[in-house]
Amino acid sequence: MTSYNRSVAWLTVCVLLALHIGGSHQQQQQCTTPTRLRGRCISIYECDSILDYFKQRILTWEEREFLRKSQCTGATSGRQPFVCCPGNGSKPVVAPATTVPAGTASTTPAGPAATAPSGDAELADQLVGGLLPNPKKNECGVSIGMRIYGGQNADIDEFPWLALLQYENRKGERKYSCGGSLINRRYVLTAAHCVIGEVERKEGKLVSVRLGEYNTKTEIDCVTEEQEEICADPPVDAGIESVIVHPGYQDMAHADDIALLRLAQSIEYTSFVQPVCLPLTDFRASKTGEVNFVTGFGRTLQESRSAVKQKLGIKVYDHARCQEKYATKNSSITTNQLCAGGEYAKDSCHGDSGGPLMKLQKVWYLEGIVSYGNRCGLEDWPGVYTHVPAYMAWVRSNIKE
């Protein structure tokens, strides 16, 4: 195995465990392993049987699930994850999965059983027969970055649904401008203003989508974590089969600023390319003051555009006040839009037009799409986002296998 593959596998081990652990730790407390063996809740670094088994391999979904289920209720010291280590030192025996692997979507309709609760029936309907990933099965919205709440640069494997839209001008020159979000293997959700209108005149024709990008200046993206180099897979470039713009969108207006891109190929999911969850039946819309996140390759205070994927936490802005603010600019804010930001130098300029505004609710949900604003990072002027929950019926009716 190459050092690159070992690095990716080891990152997966550490991060999957670090994501879910919380509570108070009691040294050497007894526990039961996923294979029903008696064990002790200790640091993974003290459990040779698990450590040696997983650090030398690229993890399958079953192995990731085994790791997740091996977690015990202790906390961590720094970023040390705790696992239920078998007392006899036996190596893990990972059973085949009995459920659909995380990050995959069934290609055949999978309606609920006749005895299923009405809530499950409603969820199955909202998943469009398995075309959309199921949040309850962790098939989407799983971001395994280690520093979600710190810094401007995102982690190399953080927010793996972020898409970059590439345009070609009349001279044949190509550049990335807008962003988007991968929602399943064939579709990216973005803003309508990123695919028609002024963008065609300024940037050119939309020609492709890039997934899995972290640093636009390097062919292979690598970072150093705890003195070990971690490298991502090469980014994936996909052509565009068709563009579906919301019928209510008008170039000079901002309402219904949403569009679907159907990719020319089915996308293979990796640690660096995954779909985000869409807001379904049990999604709870954000309230004023709650923190959501934007991500992308937008402007920073130092550069006109960042080469490295950025992230920023911004607060949801009071809707009525947002309507009042934008009314002074002759702009109408509807209930199908969400306002967020409004702090000096903190706005979706850190992301991209068409990029995601995300809410963490066990998994990451796409709550908004970057639409427009009154300049970038202006004090007490929030950015405006297309509110995705208001458009779920439209999304469902416009996707196919």
In this structure, which amino acid lies at residue 103?
A: G
Helix spans in 128-191 (H): none
How many other CB atoms are found less than 10 A from the CB of residue 78?
A: 5
Name the token pair of 355.
Answer: 């990029």
Residues written for the chain: 401
Pick the closest to residue 213 from 143, 141, 273 (CA basis).
273
Residues designated as active site: 193, 257, 353
Pick the closest to residue 163 from 312, 348, 355 (CA basis).
355
Tell me the C-alpha distance between 322 and 273, whole Å: 34
Tell me the C-alpha distance between 94 and 285, whole Å: 38
Strands 222-225 and 162-168: unpaired
SS3 87: coil
Beta bridge partners of 242: 262
Helix axes 3-20, 61-70, angle to 10 degrees: 40
